Chains A and B, each alone.
Chain A
Amino acid sequence: MANQVLDVKGLNCPLPILRAKKALKDVPIGGTLQVLATDPGAVKDFEAFCRTTGNDLVEAKTEGEVFSFLIKRGS
């Protein structure tokens, strides 16, 4: 279970990333944030975001129309 869950369903680029960045601040280092989104562009974007920021994209999956990302906070 993630430390925190962020629901950005219905929001479009770049809001899912901006909201996730904000939410990650409240996650302890090593803790996890689950992001729920409906923006198909978020799939590539969260991969790029995590690679660039040193956070770990532990899991990315699709459940119906919802994309779910599990991000482990790096530093």
Chain B
Amino acid sequence: MADSNSKRMSIIVTKGSLDWAYPPFILSTTAAAMGLEVTMFFTFYGLTLLKKKLDLKVTTLGNAAMEMPMFGMHIGMPNLMSAVPGVDAATTAMMKNLIKRKGVASIEELRAAAVDADVKMIACQMTMDLFEYTPDDLIEGPVLGGAATYIETATKSDINLFI
């Protein structure tokens, strides 16, 4: 458990796709396990990671470096394939299958671990307004706040990350 002398880390979480959801939750849970006091600020698409029911997806679009291990090799996933109906759904299914097979935690599991470890979560109020979410849409625990709330945390933190 973190005490008042512990190091602190903050993360701004701006992306809500399945692949981008991993780094912030892996780092926050690990830092908490290592005794750091951790705050996550969820803004823009990152806010969707706080929704009660997660339905995370991955897209080939804009992921020029995406390769999937298939048939004993790595197959590139051309950006344009994303336009073909069903391709993103198939890519998402493939990724979830890999995640399970390789013993990688689900985002649901990591998020629960973060809540368990008392990671502080701030939901961006402006994003809530912008995309019309209510606190009812979110899991219990996050506090609502804005840029100033985050900056105050960041000034007291040893590590500040933007993901």
Q: Which residues of A contact B (CB under 8 A)?
A: 10-15, 17-18, 20-21, 39, 48-49, 52-53
Tell me the smallest distance from the CB of A14 to a CB of chain B, in Å: 4
Task: Please judge, given known A-B contacts A52-B35, A53-B35, whether A18 and B104 are in contact too, CB under 8 Å.
Answer: no
Contact B35–A14 (Cβ < 8 Å): no
B window 29-80: CB within 8 A of A:
29-30, 33-35
In the complex, whether B113 has a CB less than 8 A from a CB of chain A is yes
Report how far A54 CA is from B103 CA in the complex, Å: 28
Beta-carbon contact of A10 and B29 below 8 Å: no
Nearest A-chain residue to B104, judged by Cβ: A12
CA distance A17 to B105 in the complex (A): 12
- Answer whether A52 and B34 are a contact pair too, CB < 8 Å, given A13-B26, A18-B29, A18-B113: yes
Q: Could you tell me the dominant secondary structure of chain A's interface residues? A: helix
Determine how close the nearest CB of chain A comes to the CB of B107; give it in whole angstroms: 13
Query: With A11-B103, A12-B103 known to touch, is A18 a contact of B30 (CB < 8 Å)?
Result: yes
Q: Chain B contacts of A18 at CB under 8 A? A: 29-30, 33, 113
CB distance from B159 to the nearest CB of A (A): 12
Task: Determine how close the nearest CB of chain B comes to the CB of A32; give it in whole angstroms.
Answer: 18
Residues of B within 8 A of A39 (CB): 103
A14 touching B34 by the CB < 8 A rule?
no
Residues of B with C-beta under 8 A to A12: 102-105
Q: How far is the CA of A52 from the CA of B105 in the complex (A)?
A: 23
Give the distance in Å from the alpha carbon of A16 to the alpha carbon of B53 in the complex.
26
Contact A14 B103 (CB under 8 A): no
